[in-house]
């Protein structure tokens, strides 16, 4: 078979595909779904529950406050998430005295030492959790906004009770 015959046969095949029933493909809803999602602006109040994940990269901590008081019930909820996501590096006491911490080139900071983290604003700790862009990984995929604020409450509690 010459190259030309092959090309002809191929183009005939392509043309015949035009006649395949495309009614499913051409339905309106398929097109509507292709519209890009509009990301929620920083500070927007989620109306679909806190499961809506805002991208806080570069957000200004001065414009962020906890949406509810970081009280005893927030501390209690935060303890669980702290135990899952923070203990491996920062330790149960917050002193970053874990085996993993000892092996890291850039060690995790003590969360309860007199300076540094104690002096951070709530919003700065919140942003570290959901939008860390340095050695520490961010936990945006794992924690929604309220869960991250609960962790902030627990870190504050650790600082209050640190020995």
CB of 40 to ligand HEC, least distance (A): 22
CB-wise, 33 or 119, nearer to ligand HEC? Answer: 119
CB of 83 to ligand HEC, least distance (A): 10
Residue 39 to residue 62: CA distance in whole angstroms: 21
Residues whose CB is less than 8 angstroms from the CB of residue 118 and which lie 6 or more positions away in sequence, other chains included: 112, 159
| x-marked contacts with ligand HEC along 75-94 as a string, rule CB under 6 A | ----------xx-xxx----
Residue 101 to residue 95: CA distance in whole angstroms: 10
Site residues for ligand HEC, window 13-72 (CB under 6 A)? Answer: none
CB-wise, 47 or 141, nearer to ligand HEC? Answer: 141
Instruction: Based on the shown chain and the rule CB under 6 A, indicate whether residue 108 belongs to the binding site for ligand HEC.
Output: yes
């Amino acid at each position: 078979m010459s190259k030309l015959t092959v090309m002809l046969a191929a183009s005939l095949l392509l043309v015949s595909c035009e006649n395949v029933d495309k009614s499913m493909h051409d339905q309106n809803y398929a097109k509507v779904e292709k519209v890009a999602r509009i990301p929620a602006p920083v500070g927007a109040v989620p109306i679909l529950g806190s499961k809506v994940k805002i991208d806080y990269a570069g957000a200004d901590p001065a414009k962020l406050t906890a949406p509810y008081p970081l009280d005893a019930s927030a501390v209690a909820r935060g303890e669980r998430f702290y135990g899952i996501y923070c203990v491996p590096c920062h330790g149960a006491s917050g002193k970053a005295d874990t085996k993993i911490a000892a092996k890291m080139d850039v060690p995790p900071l003590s969360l309860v030492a007199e300076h540094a983290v104690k002096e951070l604003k709530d919003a700065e700790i919140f942003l570290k959790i959901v939008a860390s862009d340095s050695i520490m990984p961010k936990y945006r995929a794992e924690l929604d906004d309220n869960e991250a604020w609960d962790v902030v409450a627990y870190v504050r509690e650790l600082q209050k009770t640190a020995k």
